[in-house]
Amino acid sequence: MSRHDLGSVLASAVSDVLETMFFSEALGPCQPDPGGLEAGVDFTGELSGTVTVRISEASACSLAASFLGESEDSLTDTQIAQVVCELTNMLCGCILSKFAAHGCFDLSSPELHCDTQTNSSDAVHIQQTFAIDRGTITVSLASDESA
Amino acid sequence: MSLNIMIVDDSPVMRTFLRKVVQLTGLSVGECCEAGDGEAALNALRERWMDLVLTDINMPRMNGEEFVKRVVADETLADIPVIVVSTDSSRDRIDRMIGLGARGYISKPFQPETLRDEIERVLGVQHVQA
Amino acid sequence: MKELVIGVGDGGVSRDADAVLITYALGSCVALMLHDPIAQVGGMVHYMLPESPQSQPERDSRPYKFADTAIPLLLRVALAQGADKRRLLVFAAGGAQVMNDNSIFNIGKRNCLALRKALWKFGLVAQAADIGGTQVRTVRMEVGSGRVWLQSPAGKRWELNARAGLAAPREDGTCR
């Protein structure tokens, strides 16, 4: 699969997940906002690697409120972090399902990163940033084998 | 009669989401219990009867696949319908889980109505004209 | 039957079983309808935009114009008129992608997302919905029966079919 195709897969996965379970949408590619919350999920199977998501704090709060059906000011930092982790989990699953429809994958539990992770030296690495409500979301896929 | 429903997922917020979907069904729910992994869920099932279980697959300690195998293998639990709710939408996984005895399967992401419909299908809820 | 017209950016609730709530020419706008079949209360809103502005006076002057203020307001008014939330049937129509509405500012799609977000927040789910696409719709809801009819500009007419209420409990207790 070409980098262009991988890019399309990431974009499609972001749209699917945000629209279906967060009632939100990706507004188009952009430059990432600084800082924010970051979470990662490792996957193993036909391919192995990591999906990482970084999201602006305001966007994380907005998405968490939508996901839980609550008002933003009623949410705790823990809930927001857990929603970011679940968002990462779903994006990982959605991305993998789009470029490997038949293989089974095992996913690790998503983990919130205290510091922004540096890019690994994995053979395949692709990253895209999208504008969303109140900020940006950056999705990265790193795999130790070419797709 | 009220139904007892168990939700098994290592994500607390996903458990909250699933609990909300259960409420959307309009079914009379007695107890809605939660567990963070398959082992905790199995222990809970042996303590209290559940009419339906919703389970994730990727969980620590005991994953959803092992959990479904154990439920089906236990004659005191085998009649409890289990619906899998997972990020894995691969045909291989779906076939495997249904083959193990899961009665339904929903892939994330999903619209709340989709899971609501699957719950009603598995429980045999029928709709009649008012 | 008495016709009560709901204008663009407006909403209303009726307890008159002879009344029909109507709203015309739904393009990117969304019509949300609530109906309590026992209390025979019916409500409809025709909202235009997903989010209300920050300014309170603007939000207060046209609350039915924006999904995030319109939907909770319609629900409050319907409950105040005697509807029971547990019995409410919810219908929706509209949210089309109209001509000249490019993908960046797709108001129809954003209105549909706002609808689903609000329904989720208030623990409601649509019994039937005819949303998206490119077709302009006119909607009628009979307050007495709760039946909802749609019409296209060409005159084609069709009914939004609701999921019926749950069956009575079976002997094995697997449904209400």
Give, for A113, the enclosing helix (H) or strand (E). strand A111-113
> How many beta carbons lie within 10 A of that of residue C173, not counting itself?
12
Whole-number pLDDT of residue A6: 82
Q: How far does Cα A45 stand from its chain's mean position? A: 19
Q: Is a pLDDT exceeding 80 seen at residue B9?
A: yes
Whole-number pLDDT of residue A98: 85
Q: Is a pLDDT exceeding 90 seen at residue C163?
A: no
Instruction: Tell me the C-alpha distance between A8 and A2, whole Å.
Output: 10
Question: For the residues of A43-69, what is the DSSP string, one character each?
Answer: EEESS-EEEEEEE-HHHHHHHHHHHHT
Nearest Cα neighbor of A99 from A47, A137, A140 is A47
Whole-number pLDDT of residue C175: 27
Whole-number pLDDT of residue C102: 57
Whole-number pLDDT of residue A45: 87
The CATH architecture to which B3-123 belongs is 3-Layer(aba) Sandwich (3.40)
A101–B91: do the CB atoms touch at under 8 Å?
yes
Looking up residue C147, the CATH number of its domain turns out to be 3.30.1330.200
- pLDDT band of residue C172 (cuts 50, 70, 90) is very low
Instruction: Tell me the C-alpha distance between C139 and C157, whole Å.
Output: 10
Q: What is the pLDDT of residues C21-42, one digit of tens each?
A: 999 999 999 999 999 999 999 9
Nearest CB to B108 within list A90, A104, A108? A90
Domain presence at residue C64: yes
Structure tokens at C9: 């950016």
Q: Does A28 touch chain C (CB under 8 A)?
A: yes
Q: Is a pLDDT exceeding 60 seen at residue B94?
A: yes
Whole-number pLDDT of residue C165: 40
Q: Report chain B residues whose CB lies below 8 A from the CB of A85.
A: 11
Q: Report chain C residues whose CB lies below 8 A from the CB of B50.
A: none
> Within chain A, which residues score under 50 in pLDDT?
147
Interface of A with B (CB under 8 A): 16-17, 20-21, 64, 67-69, 79, 82-83, 85-86, 89-90, 92-94, 96-97, 100-110
Domain ranges of chain B: 3-123
Q: What is the pLDDT of residues C59-116, one digit of tens each?
A: 788 999 999 999 999 999 999 999 999 999 999 999 998 866 555 568 999 999 999 9
Burial pattern C64-91, b for ≥16 Cβ within 10 A else e, equals bbbbbbbbebbbebbbebebeeeebbbb
Whole-number pLDDT of residue B128: 56
> How many beta carbons lie within 10 A of that of residue C54, not counting itself?
7
Topology, domain A3-143: Chemotaxis protein chec (3.40.1550)
* A115 burial level (CB within 10 Å; 0-12, 13-18, 19+): exposed
Whole-number pLDDT of residue C168: 31
Beta-strand relationship, C41-47 and C89-94: unpaired
Tell me the CB-side half-sphere exposure of residue A43, using CA atoms within 13 A: 29
Q: Angle between the A3-21 and A77-99 helix axes, to the nearest 10 degrees?
A: 130
For residue C133, the enclosing domain spans 2-160
Place of tokens 């969980």: B59
Please say whether the dihedral angle defined by the alpha carbons of residues B109, B112, B114 and B117, taken in this order, is positive or negative.
positive
Domain ranges of chain A: 3-143
Q: What is the pLDDT of residues C101-160, one digit of tens each?
A: 555 568 999 999 999 999 999 999 898 999 999 999 999 999 999 999 999 999 999 999
Q: Please tell me whether residue C49 adopts helix, strand or coil conformation.
A: strand
pLDDT more than 90, % of chain C? 77
What Å distances lie between residue C17 and A25, A80, A119, C5, CA to CA?
40, 46, 65, 15
Q: How many domains does chain C have?
A: 1
Whole-number pLDDT of residue B129: 46
